[in-house]
Structure 1
Amino acid sequence: MKTDKRQQLISTALTLFYRHGIHAVGINEVLKVSGVAKKTLYSHFASKDELILATLAARDEIFMAWLARRLAPAHTHADVITCLFSALSDWFHGRVPELSPFRGCFFINASAEFSEENTVIADYCSEHKRKVRLLIQQHLHTPDEALVDAICLLKEGAIVSAFVGKDLDAAEKCTGVLLNSISSGNQHL
């Protein structure tokens, strides 16, 4: 039963933090929405930072599993690009229930709120981005650092453009740019 309450706290906090921002949501709001007692919260998490790290870990697990499923069918560089940016487009347009309604990248948002260097939270966000990059790289069938760089930079740009600029078609634009570059034999990508 204890782990159910812990998971309830994490799920509630993740939803609230992602929707409103981490600093905008206090522990009392997490308690009120979750229906969990303060004593129970502190029996699982010694501080708000520990709860934040648990929400980051939960989001990382959900996101990485989703992205791995979406990249699984890829057999060529073009497939990786198509699968990745199609997945992002689905996320931006609200067609990925497990990622909640699109509010940007939880890790970009969290790192912006905790921008002090060498914080555990900022480091966790950076590690998530490294894991995403490695997953994408693992699906490319020949090592190509320049292509991975281009894919990852365009992926991040698409996420920010979709959220900040409300350009929900940003992923499709990235697909076109990358596929045109590959088909034209651009050796720099």
Structure 2
Amino acid sequence: MDKQELLVRTAFKLFYTRGIHAVGVNLVLAESGIAKKTLYHHFPSKEHLVEAAIRYRDCSYRAWLISRLEHVPAGRPALLELFNALSDWFHSRVPDIGHFNGCFFINASAEFGDRDNAIHRACAEHKAGMMALIRRHVDELSLSEGRTEEITNLTVLLKEGAISMAHVQGNLNAAFEAKGILENILNGYADE
């Protein structure tokens, strides 16, 4: 692993577990064992390092989730598998993405609330990418455009709500509760 990657991984781990504003550059340097000059060679500011950590998490999280969804048929099975994957994450059973500490993108965007901020925009891009991934599977259901939009939005809201419930309230069963809601709704559409 090169020094730039080590800095990003170390920064991500610290930002995710302690919060971005709570972690100073000196702590990242101490944890990574890399010199300050090297850090500023790769990242002109802490915000650039935060952006890189967000991009790193986006890539690792997206790769993990896509891999999970590829193990089942597209469409309904993949939409339901999404919540099985979330449950594994909530229970910290996913070494690829580490211990569950809520959604890094929600946490980071809360610390950088200005929607024009590059960090906030990077978090929004991640969420849009997740919505697009879900939409691809909803498209496989061959519903009307209105229903497709409705199921996409519902699935995203259930996903985000489950993450929030698991983190904020400690409800580690939230993914399965959300999965049950989605399954009941999909069953209702099948009966139409």
Tell me which residue corresponds to 1:153: 157
User: What is the deviation of 1:80?
Assistant: 2.3
User: What is the deviation of 1:186?
Assistant: 7.5
State whether structure 2 residue 36 is matched by structure 1 residue 38.
yes
Kept in 1, the 8 Å contact 2:80–2:179? The answer is yes
Correspondent of 1:180 among 174, 179, 184: 184
Distance, in Å, in 1 between the alignment partners of 2:190 and 2:16 is: 38
Kept in 1, the 8 Å contact 2:102–2:167? The answer is yes
Distance, in Å, in 2 between the alignment partners of 1:134 and 1:77 is: 13
State whether structure 2 residue 115 is matched by structure 1 residue 117.
yes
In the superposition, relative to structure 1, how do residues 152 and 113 fare at CA in structure 2: closer, same or farther (>3 Å)?
A: same
Tell me which residue corresponds to 1:171: 175
Kept in 2, the 8 Å contact 1:75–1:139? The answer is no
State whether structure 2 residue 13 is matched by structure 1 residue 15.
yes
Percentage of matched positions with identical amino acids = 46
In the superposition, relative to structure 1, how do residues 74 and 146 fare at CA in structure 2: closer, same or farther (>3 Å)?
A: farther
Q: Output aligned runs, 1:36-185, within 5 Å.
A: 36-75=34-73, 77-140=75-138, 141=140, 142=142, 144-185=148-189
Distance, in Å, in 2 between the alignment partners of 1:106 and 1:76 is: 27
Task: Classify the secondary structure of the residue corresponding to 2:169.
Answer: coil
Aligned AA (1:145): E
Distance, in Å, in 1 between the alignment partners of 2:191 and 2:16 is: 39
Q: How far does the alpha carbon of each residue in 1:12-46 deviate from its partner, in whole angstroms, 9 at most, with x for none?
A: 00000000000000000000000000001011100
Task: Classify the secondary structure of the residue corresponding to 1:22.
Answer: coil
Aligned AA (2:162): A
Q: How many residues align?
A: 186
RMSD: 1.6
Distance, in Å, in 1 between the alignment partners of 2:13 and 2:167 is: 17
TM-score (norm 1): 0.94
Residue segments in structure 1 that go unaligned for 5+ positions in a row? none
Aligned AA (1:113): E
Distance, in Å, in 2 between the alignment partners of 1:125 and 1:76 is: 26
User: What is the deviation of 1:165?
Assistant: 0.6
Q: How far does the alpha carbon of each residue in 1:80-121 deviate from its partner, in whole angstroms, 9 at most, with x for none?
A: 222100000000001101111100000000000000231111
Distance, in Å, in 1 between the alignment partners of 2:50 and 2:70 is: 30
User: What is the deviation of 1:53?
Assistant: 0.5
Distance, in Å, in 1 between the alignment partners of 2:190 and 2:107 is: 33
Distance, in Å, in 2 between the alignment partners of 1:121 and 1:76 is: 32
TM-score (norm 2): 0.92
